[in-house]
Amino acid sequence: MSRPPATPLRRDADDAVEVIELGCGPVPVRWRVSRRARRLSLRIDPSGGHVVVTLPPRASRSTGRALLGRHSDWIAGRLAALPSRIDFADGVCIPLDGLTHRIRHDPLSRGGVRVDAGMLVVSGEAQFLPRRLSDFLRAEARRRLAVHVGRIGAGLERRPRRLSIKDVRSRWGSCTADGTLMLSWRLVMAPPTVQDYVVAHEMAHLSHMDHGEAFWRLVDRLTPNRLMAERWLREQGPALLRIG
């Protein structure tokens, strides 16, 4: 039976998620249309545990499905290799500055969240624990990462115009041409040496917006942690995206 001709993906379908049957079984897929995309591409989103297919504006879903089918084995392997998801809950262990801390719900304590002898003690009603802990980690990320920004900034002629802490899925940080520095709050869970490298990397873009030789020389001048941190992020970074 003939099929109707493929139609371009509409803008209102952008970021829609659907489950598609591939040779490896059912796979959750999020569709994205990008005006800047020149070709089809796919990647694994560790945070959501799904595949992201990016298409140029006039590409069709059928073309995207064909791409998924050709890479079904790779997709299955990558999804199977994702770390287990960890939700914020009483008794669960999560890292802070690279050190394991156990979440303990104490409804009678005060102050929201406090760090106490390897524990993250969360006050209030149990239903608000995830939100309170998430707010705490974001605030700690801003406080701790700002220390790295201040130290590293002392060795640069330019300073960031603004520091923004966000929850992004595809990068640990970025630096815009106007000097806005964006860092993932999840870095607060990584060791300080890794935080230091990511901050140095993004702040080096204040002087060099590319990744040329001059850029890497500046990164190495700003931090001694590049090689170790890059390896840690490759090996351990995906697990941070599965927390919370």
- Give this prediction's pTM: 0.79
Which amino acid appears at position 206 of this protein?
L
Task: Give yes or no: residues 177 and 236 share one domain.
Answer: yes
Nearest to 141 by CA among 175, 96, 174, 185: 185
Task: Give yes or no: residues 67 and 144 share one domain.
Answer: no
CA distance 59 to 9: 6
Sheet containing strand 180-184, edge to edge, reads: 162-166, 180-184, 173-175
pLDDT at 3: 38
Residue 228 domain-assigned (yes or no): yes
Task: Give yes or no: residues 212 and 144 share one domain.
Answer: yes
Mean pLDDT of 85-101: 96
Please count the structural domains in the chain.
Answer: 2
Q: If pLDDT is split at 50, 70 and 90, which confidence band does 187 have?
A: very high
What are 127's two structure tokens?
């239903």
Mean pLDDT of the chain: 89
Q: If pLDDT is split at 50, 70 and 90, which confidence band does 181 have?
A: very high
CA distance 105 to 99: 19
Residue 101 domain-assigned (yes or no): no
CA distance 211 to 205: 8
The pLDDT tens digits for 100-138 are 999 999 999 888 999 999 999 999 999 999 999 999 999
Residue 111 domain-assigned (yes or no): no
- Tokens 């960031």 belong to residue: 160
Which of the listed residues 80, 97, 121 is the one where a domain comes to its end? 80
What stretches of 34-68 adopt beta strand conformation (E)? 41-45, 50-55
What are 111's two structure tokens?
């102050």
Residue 103 domain-assigned (yes or no): no
pLDDT at 14: 52
Can you give the residue range of the structural domain that contains 45? 11-80
Task: Give yes or no: residues 193 and 134 share one domain.
Answer: yes
Which residues, in sequence order, are bridge partners of residue 25? 22
Which residues, in sequence order, are bridge partners of residue 206? none
Which of the listed residues 80, 101, 118 is the one where a domain comes to its end? 80
Residue 123 domain-assigned (yes or no): no
Task: Give yes or no: residues 68 and 143 share one domain.
Answer: no
Task: Give yes or no: residues 40 and 139 share one domain.
Answer: no
Residue 209 domain-assigned (yes or no): yes
User: What is the domain-level CATH number for residue 223?
Assistant: 3.30.2010.10
Task: Give yes or no: residues 47 and 140 share one domain.
Answer: no
Which of the listed residues 22, 55, 80 is the one where a domain comes to its end? 80
Cα dihedral 111/114/119/125 (nearest 10): 30
pLDDT at 7: 34
Flag the least confident range among 34-48, 75-89, 117-131, 169-183.
34-48
CA distance 191 to 227: 14
Residue 3 domain-assigned (yes or no): no
Residue 45 domain-assigned (yes or no): yes
| Model confidence at 13: pLDDT above 60 | no
